[in-house]
Structures are given as C-alpha cells and as structure tokens.
Structure 1
Amino acid sequence: MIYKKDANFPYPLLTNTSTSYESSQFILDVDLQENASTYRFNITYNIDSDFMNRLLEKEQAQLILVIQSKDNKFYKLRPSDTYVEISKSRISVSKRTSIQLHLQAKENIHFNDNNDLSGIYQQYRDVIMVRKHSTLGFSNVVIFDSRSNKPLDLFQKKLDPTLLSDIKIELGYETIIIHYKSEELQFNNLPMSNSLNNPYIYMGLQKALQRFIVNNGDDEQVDLEEIELPDDQLDLKLYNLMKKKMIREISIDTIDEVIYVISEKILEKFTAAVKGLSSNGN
C-alpha cells in the first residue's frame, strides 16, 4: 500500500514528516518514459539517515518501489538500481498513478546503534527492535499524470475559407496548426471525428519532425543524447516527448518509426473509426 498520510507505528519510522529522527528526509523523484511495449520508471532518491543507509549497504534492509494505479505492484530494488522497466502487459498506468519508495527490514533490526534518532527514542534505542519484513520508512508520493506529454497537445485547429488548398500545415511557435478550408474536412458531424482527423495529425508530425532534424542536427539525423535543449518551443516539446518515449535518435529515414512510437497508434485509431462508420452503414 501507499502511505499518503502520517501512519502510527509502534517504533520510530523514517518519513519526511517524522519527528522520530533528527534528520528525516526520504526524498523520491521519478521520471517515466515509455515505448510501444514497456514503461521505464527512472528513479532517484535520497535518504538522510546514516543508519538506514548502512542497513541497505549490509543488505539488512531493502527498497521496495510501490506503484499504485488500477492495482498495486511491488518491485524490489538494489541501492544501485536507477530504473525499473515493466512490460505494458504487466501493469496498467491510469490517468493518475502514485509511486512511493519503502524501506523494509530483511531481518530483525536492533536500533541500539541508531544515532539518528531524536527525543525519547534516543533514550530507549537499546530496547527497540523491529521485526523482519516490517516497514522502516517511506518516501514522499510521486504522482504521475499520464495525460501530460500527449502528441495531440501539440496541435491547434483553425478554419480559413480563403485557403488555396483543402488544408495547410503551419509550424507555429509552440504548436502545429492545421488550417482547414471548410468545416466538412474536420468531420465534426460524424462520430469519432477526432480519430478521423488523424491523417492530418500524422502529416503535421512529419513536417514538424523534419524541421526538428534540420534545426538540431546535420540535416539527416539528430542524436537526442548529445544535443543541447532546443531553443524553439515546438522543438522543445517534440524533444521532451521523444525522450519520454525512450527515443535516442531520429533521422529522415526513421521519422515514420518515431511517429509510430510517439503518436499512440493514431493511424490504427483512424482505421478503427472508418471501420466503425462502415459497419454502421454510412
């Protein structure tokens, strides 16, 4: 389980709000990346307590990563682990996923040499013993909102009857703008109109990624691990989106592969929408 409020334990517990320790920081930071088949939770943490760090080094305690979404998942970590990679078939990441790091005793832990305790616990540390498998502490809760970093957030739609073409793709300061000559081209009167617009989304991503390569590479490819953060705001959004999806490089030849990874199967959704219209006799 994830502890979102102070919990009462019959022994001193290391938490960010604990008064049982002189210095009680247990800070967790998580960055989530994904591709078509896996989620990668990149983890950094800091524990102020020398006593707890010694327990981890001696393997008397262990770290447990708790991921709470539609269900709870638990993953044992070594102190040197910097990420957990999980198949999408094994975990469901909902619109709001909570993540917390727990310290768990791997054997009975005596607190007689725990010099980090404060107050009354310092006086009675010689008689404090925490049993095997008990929780020794827990971090802050990191909340991941899967609604962020969506490719469709990059887009704007505008109507312009004066266009000399049916649609026009414009690369704005922060967004990709799709200009439509008529409302009919937006399919607003049909169910799943958003999915029916996905070919235009695809065209916009192609154009934006081509410019990204020109702006940030050698006209042919870009190594995302090596470049500086882009100054252009649209390029920066595309950069962050690709990094979140664990893409390391992009070239003119791999643009379509990159779009497949970052676009959440928009052409499959378009095909499903068309099939839905066909099955309804439209």
Structure 2
Amino acid sequence: MIYKKDANFPYPLLTNTSNSYDGCNFTLDIKLNENTYEYIFQINYDIESDFIKKLIRENKAQLVLVVQSKDNKFFNLSLNEKIKTIPKNRISLSKRTTIQLLIQSKEEINFKENNDLNTFYGSIKDQINVPKHSILGFSNSVMFDGSTAKPLELFEKKVDPNLKSEVKVELGSETIIINYKSDELQFIDSPVSSTINNIYVYMGLQKALYRFVNIYGGEDEEVDLEELDLPIDGLDLKLYGLMKSKMIKNVSLENIDEVICSITDRILEKYTSAVRGLYSNGN
C-alpha cells in the first residue's frame, strides 16, 4: 500500500513529515522509460539517516518499491540499485499510478544505536523494539500518467481529392501528414479503422526516420542518439524524444524497421491481427 503523511505508527518513523528523526528526510524521484516489453524505472532516492542505511547494508532492512495502479505490486531493491526493469506483463500502469519507496525490517530492530532520532527519544530509545516485517520509513509518493510517449500524436490526417495517388505521406514542421484521396481509404466505417491505418503510420515513420538518418547520420549513415544534440526541427525533436524514451541508442538505415517496432509497440503485428479479425468475421 501507499502510505500518506498522516499515517500513525507506535514507534519512530523516517518520513519527510515526521518529527521522529532530527533533520532526516527520505526523498524519492522516479524517471520512467519503456521499450516494447519492459518498463524501466530510473530511481533516485536519498536516505539521510545513517542508522537506516546501516540496517540496509547489513541486510537487517529491505528497500521495497511499491507501484500502485489497479493493484499493488512490490519489488525489492538493493541499497545502490538505481534502475529497476519490470516486464510489462507483470504490471499495468494507468493515469492513477503512484510509486513510493518503503523501508521494511527483516528482523526485530532495537533503536538503542539510532543516533538520528529526535532528542525526545534520548532516554527511551534503547527500549524501542520494532518487530520483523515492520515499516521503518516511507518516501514521498510519485505520480505517473502511465505512458512516456504517444507515437500517434506525431500524425495528422487530411483528405485531398486532387491527389494523383491514393495516399501521400508528407513531413511537416511538427507532424507526419497522411493525405488520403478519399475518406474510404481510411476505413472510417470499420470498428478497427485506427488499427488498419497503422500501415500508413508505418509508412510515415519510415519516411521520417530515413530523413532523420540522412540529416544527422553523416557519412556513417548512423545516428548516435547518446551524442546527438537536441534537434531544432519540431518533428525531428519529437522523434528524438520518442526514441530516447524507448531506450534506443542509435538509429541507422539498417535498423529503421527495428526502431519502428520498438517505438510503436509492434504496430504491424496489431495491423495484421485487425485484418485477420475482419477476414475471420467474413468482412
């Protein structure tokens, strides 16, 4: 569960709002990235109590990452573990996702040597015994919207009856524009219209990434995203941010299709499933 600032415990607790510890805080910051199969949590935290950190080092206490969405998921962390990779089939993030870091005792803890406590506990701290599996502290909570990027927001759709081809893909200053000769080409009367149009989304991403590689790849025709300065062009900046959020390190003419698969979570697989579904239903 996620603990709130007004949670009451019968013993001193390390939090950012409790007066139990003298000048000690427990802060958490999370950055979330993802690829096709995993969520990657970049975890930065600061435990200002030497007593608590010693307990963790000596394996007498455990850091626990709590991810609360539709249900609660718990993941143990080591003291210096800063990246936690979790398969997407193990958790489901939503717009109500909250993340918090807990400290839990692994054995009975006596507070006699806890010199970080408020002076109020000075004469009685040797009498404080906290049972095994008890919460020793909790951080602030971090909220997430459940997604780090929405690739389809890169696109605009327009209808132009004067086109000389059925579909024309253009690269605008901020978006990839899919022009259709008629509404019928968008399958607007189909319940899976959006998914069937994935084939045009794929075409658009291919065109945009080919240009991206040609502009920033130089003679090697490969772009090292770790070394690349932020693009000035709006569309290229969106593509750069999307690839970085999916932990992609380089893009080239050779791996463009792999990159598209990663940044769209297997867009052609979804397209194929939709078409097969229509075929099975006799449409």
Q: Under a length normalisation based on structure 2, what TM-score does the superposition of the two structures give? A: 0.89
> Which residue matches 2:143?
143
1:128-277 map, 5 Å: 128-218=128-218, 220-277=221-278
CA gap 1:4/1:213 in 2 versus in 1, 3 angstroms: farther
**Structure 1 Cα separation of the partners of residues 203 and 250 of structure 2:** 20
In structure 2, give the amino acid aligned to 1:81. E
In structure 2, give the amino acid aligned to 1:126. D
Asked whether the equivalents of residues 187 and 193 of structure 2 are also in contact (C-alpha less than 8 Å), the reply is yes
My pick for the range that moved more, 188-197 or 38-47, is 38-47
State the 1:122 CA deviation: 4.6
Asked whether the equivalents of residues 198 and 270 of structure 1 are also in contact (C-alpha less than 8 Å), the reply is yes
My pick for the range that moved more, 250-259 or 86-95, is 86-95
Asked whether the equivalents of residues 223 and 248 of structure 1 are also in contact (C-alpha less than 8 Å), the reply is yes
> Which residue matches 2:30?
30
- Deviation per residue, 1:222-256 (Å, 9 max, x gap): 12222223333322222222222222211101000
Alpha-carbon RMSD across the aligned residues, in angstroms, is 2.2
- Deviation per residue, 1:179-208 (Å, 9 max, x gap): 223222221122211011111100111111
> Which residue matches 2:12?
12
Asked whether the equivalents of residues 5 and 17 of structure 2 are also in contact (C-alpha less than 8 Å), the reply is no
**Structure 2 Cα separation of the partners of residues 186 and 257 of structure 1:** 26
State the 1:67 CA deviation: 2.0
1:45-56 map, 5 Å: 45-56=45-56
Identity within the alignment, %: 60
- Deviation per residue, 1:202-227 (Å, 9 max, x gap): 01111111122223322511122222
Asked whether the equivalents of residues 35 and 261 of structure 1 are also in contact (C-alpha less than 8 Å), the reply is yes
**Structure 2 Cα separation of the partners of residues 211 and 254 of structure 1:** 14
Is residue 2 of structure 1 aligned with residue 6 of structure 2? no
**Structure 2 Cα separation of the partners of residues 122 and 216 of structure 1:** 63
- Deviation per residue, 1:103-140 (Å, 9 max, x gap): 11223222233333236345533322222221111112
- Deviation per residue, 1:161-195 (Å, 9 max, x gap): 33333222222233222222322222112221101
In structure 2, give the amino acid aligned to 1:154. L
**Structure 2 Cα separation of the partners of residues 77 and 46 of structure 1:** 14
**Structure 2 Cα separation of the partners of residues 116 and 211 of structure 1:** 58
CA gap 1:127/1:155 in 2 versus in 1, 3 angstroms: same
Asked whether the equivalents of residues 187 and 196 of structure 1 are also in contact (C-alpha less than 8 Å), the reply is yes
My pick for the range that moved more, 78-87 or 251-260, is 78-87
State the 1:95 CA deviation: 4.8
Aligned residues: 282
> Which residue matches 1:279?
280
